[in-house]
Amino acid sequence: ENHQLWGGRFTAEPSEYVQRFGASIGFDQAMAAEDLTGSLAHVAMLKKTAILKAEEADQITAGLHTLQQKLANGELEFSIANEDIHLNLEKMLTDLIGPVAGKLHTARSRNDQVATDMHLYLKNHLNTILPLIKQLQATIVAKAEKHITTLMPGYTHMQHAQPISYGQYLMAYFQMFQRDAERFDFNLKHTDLSPLGAAALAGTTFPTDRAYTAAQLGFAAPYANSLDAVSDRDFILEFLSNSAQLMMHLSRFCEEIIVWDSQEFHYVELDDTYSTGSSIMPQKKNPDMAELIRGKTGRVYGDLMGLLTVMKGLPLAYNKDFQEDKEGMFDAVKTIEQSLTVFNGMLATLKVNTAQMAHATTHDFSNATELADYLAAKGMPFRQAHELVGELVLTCIKKQAYLKDVTLAEFKALSPLIEEDVYTALDPETAVERRNSLGGTGFKQIKQQIAAAKTLLGE
């Protein structure tokens, strides 16, 4: 005899070890609320279509409400013997209201049930994640607005390239997070569909109303094809891919914070509330939160690769492999929600050492392009100007001087085109302010970017 809910055709039960291996209750209990919501919509439909008698449906509905209450009070105790969240809740409903509970599963399968739960779960979380991204974007815009005229060296190859504004730097990340938000928003469209009523794979002979359950659950529409409805995990893959990309952006941002927070750079300093000390070195103040976000990027990439690999080669329709779709999704949801929250606080409280940044722009050769451009603007072919300035930089390095230290007589010896105004051109502030091409680091351009960003954020 077999005591499983599906035990009819069996004469023996799996061992406890095997049951434990097959069970998902350890993690899919995170969808208990969604499972009850799905069942309530399903039973409402069974009543409306007269598939169940009103009285039976009402009994089931009342039982499900009791379970919702118990769940909220933390009174539900899940058991491995009942495999997963769906069977656990069905068993509890049976204990509560008796055999009529068995009618709930009419015209439904765990296959469309679990897919519905996951759609509900992810939709809820996308509606949390999108505002978290927006909040971070707002923090970035507010900080950029404060630092429109804060100068710093811009880098390529990690070498001083051209001076830029820290505001311009921040607004680059605004754009990345805007694309992230747009991707999650598109993801929401594919998540906002109801698989419920697809049943095991082929639909059902009962006169169900899938549009009704979809509407009850707040989904935009039912899936068009029953096989697709129970086999589709694209919405999760999209979510994991979007999450991987979001984490990549956070990780790059963190990397710069970590490097710039070092003694060698000292461009920024983390607030004490977002740093940790060392158990041995009393002087240490470590950027642990930034490092953790950088590190957690790896696990989210893993979540994506994991599910992509699970899906590869799965025939239609349901396969138990699908049970492996959940932990990665839960992990990515938790990781990006936490990372966005922590990063936002860390950035909002980050101190910017504007003096150190400015110092770096006056003690380097990041104004070399300015001199080459200056000569080119006065008619010298740019390639020739580039060569000339390159040689001058070499001479300066030997003399331990910068371009601003070159006297006018020395400049004139180099090229008679050079006048007194060269010193203004070499000033990093001028260099930044004049880069007024569309989207450039010029102060006017940054102001326009900020205005456009505020419009996007609805500020």
Q: How far is the CB of 10 from ligand ARG (least distance, A)?
A: 14
Closer residue to ligand ARG, CB minimum distance, 86 or 147: 86
One of 65, 79, 278, 363 is an active-site residue; which one? 278
CA 78, CA 324: separation in Å to the nearest integer?
19
Tokens representing residue 173 in the block: 């990340």
Q: How far is the CB of 330 from ligand ARG (least distance, A)?
A: 12
Closer residue to ligand ARG, CB minimum distance, 24 or 139: 24
Q: How far is the CB of 322 from ligand ARG (least distance, A)?
A: 4
Q: Which residues contact 264 (CB under 8 A, 6 or more apart)?
A: none
3-class state of residue 242 by DSSP: helix
Q: How many residues sit in the footprint of ligand ARG (CB under 6 A)?
A: 11
Distances (CA, A) of 344 to 27, 98, 288, 336, 446: 29, 50, 15, 12, 21
- Active-site residue 339, yes or no? no
Q: Which residues contact 380 (CB under 8 A, 6 or more apart)?
A: 388, 415, 417
Q: Considering only residues 29-88, where is the footprint of ligand ARG by CB under 6 A? A: 84, 86
Q: How far is the CB of 239 from ligand ARG (least distance, A)?
A: 17
DSSP letters along 53-98, please? Answer: -HHHHHHHHHHHHHHHHHHHTT-----GGG-SHHHHHHHHHHHHH-
Per the CB < 8 A criterion, the answer to whether 118 and 325 are in contact is yes
| Of the candidate residues 253, 318, 374, 443, the single one contacting ligand ARG (CB under 6 A) | 318
| Of the candidate residues 231, 323, 335, 339, the single one contacting ligand ARG (CB under 6 A) | 323
Q: How far is the CB of 86 from ligand ARG (least distance, A)?
A: 6
Q: Taking the CA of residue 269 as centre, how many other CA atoms within 13 Å lie in the half-sphere pointing to its CB?
A: 11
Closer residue to ligand ARG, CB minimum distance, 84 or 427: 84
| Of the candidate residues 169, 235, 260, 322, the single one contacting ligand ARG (CB under 6 A) | 322
One of 3, 157, 279, 437 is an active-site residue; which one? 157
- Active-site residue 157, yes or no? yes
Told to check if 254 binds ligand ARG by CB under 6 A, we report no
CA 104, CA 40: separation in Å to the nearest integer?
9
**Site map for ligand ARG, 83-122, x if CB under 6 A?**
-x-x-----------------------xx--x--------
Tokens representing residue 8 in the block: 């009819």
Question: Phi-psi category of 181—alpha, beta or left, where left has phi over 0 and alpha has psi -120 to 50?
Answer: alpha
Residues annotated as catalytic are 157, 278
Instruction: Note the residues at the interface with ligand ARG (CB under 6 A).
Output: 24, 28, 84, 86, 110-111, 114, 318, 320, 322-323
